[in-house]
């Protein structure tokens, strides 16, 4: 039983969905502290002049958990996001298919975490990824930092923890060993695929791959052995 854990991001990148594809249970760490300038409320798309942010305006106070962050009720942000997608991807082969999906999933959500998990659940379903998607806030989970991660894996009876490569910098790997949990780092390598607008740009929102290759094509590119 392989477990992966991550904060709920807004229209995440390919590495995020690769992690979902490679685990049995994926836990949204919505109890982590909200950090400004992170991927929780924004992501990148491609334009004729380079990349640009799609940012969800958030009303928050210092120390809020992600699950407490409220989408600004006075901003009509989501029609702007849809217009940005239309302007930059209307020439893409799968524009209408993916645009229809975004129309169905963007609206004035109260809580940012609910918006993000709703989008990720919908995309995982369309990409036929079969991991169980759970919210940490629905369970009584104790600990901080690596200890919390270990406790989450134990709570769901996991034998492996799937981590991103960047976590090597701050995780205490010995805690997994003491708990009898195998620590596995993802082997994700970013694929290069057909994009609009010239030179390839990696690490964009999965929206870029989807507009250019559709759900089925994106699944093949995302999961192909590299």
Mean pLDDT, the chain, integer? 94
Asked whether the whole model's pTM tops 0.75, one would answer yes
pLDDT computed for residue 86 by the predictor? 97
DSSP, residue by residue, the chain: -EEEEE---SS-BHHHHHHHHT-SEEEE-TTSBP-TTSSSSEEEEEETTEEEEEE--EE--TT-BGGG-EE-TT--HHHHHHHHHHHHHTTSTTHHHHHHHHHHH-S--SBHHHHHHHHHHHHHHHTT---EEEEGGGS----SHHHHHHHHHHHTT-SEEEE-GGGGGT--HHHHHHTT-EEEE----PPP---SSSS---S-BHHHHHHHHHHHHHHHHHHS--
Banded model confidence at residue 76, pLDDT cuts 50, 70, 90: confident
pLDDT computed for residue 225 by the predictor? 54
pLDDT computed for residue 119 by the predictor? 97
Contact 149, 43 (CB under 8 A): no
pLDDT digit string, tens, across residues 77-88: 999 999 999 999
Residue 131, pLDDT > 90, answer yes
Domain range annotation of the chain: 2-223
Share of the chain above pLDDT 70, in %: 98
Residue 34, pLDDT > 90, answer yes
pLDDT computed for residue 226 by the predictor? 47
pLDDT computed for residue 61 by the predictor? 67
Cα 18–Cα 192–Cα 2 angle in degrees, nearest 5: 10
Beta bridge partners of 132: 25
The CA distance from 11 to 133, in Å, is 15
């Amino acid at each position: 039983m392989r477990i992966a854990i991550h904060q709920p991001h807004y229209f995440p990148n390919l590495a995020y969905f690769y992690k979902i594809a490679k685990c049995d249970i994926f836990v949204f760490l919505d109890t982590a502290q909200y950090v400004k300038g992170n991927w929780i409320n924004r992501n990148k798309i491609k334009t004729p002049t380079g990349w640009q942010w799609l940012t969800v305006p958030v009303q928050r106070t210092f120390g809020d958990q992600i699950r407490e962050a409220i989408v600004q009720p006075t901003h009509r942000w989501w029609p702007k996001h849809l217009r940005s997608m239309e302007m930059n991807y209307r020439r893409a082969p799968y524009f209408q298919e993916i645009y229809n999906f975004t129309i169905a999933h963007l609206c004035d959500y109260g809580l940012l975490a609910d918006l993000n998990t709703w989008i990720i659940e919908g995309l995982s379903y369309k990409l036929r990824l079969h991991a169980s998607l759970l919210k940490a806030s629905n369970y009584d989970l104790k600990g901080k930092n690596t200890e919390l991660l270990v406790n989450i894996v134990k709570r769901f009876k996991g034998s492996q923890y799937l981590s991103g490569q960047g976590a090597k910098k701050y995780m205490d790997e010995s805690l997994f060993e003491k708990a009898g949990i195998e620590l596995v780092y993802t082997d994700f390598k970013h694929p290069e695929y057909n994009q609009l607008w010239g030179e390839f740009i990696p690490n964009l929102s999965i929206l870029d791959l989807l507009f250019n290759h559709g759900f089925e094509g994106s699944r093949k590119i995302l999961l192909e052995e590299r």
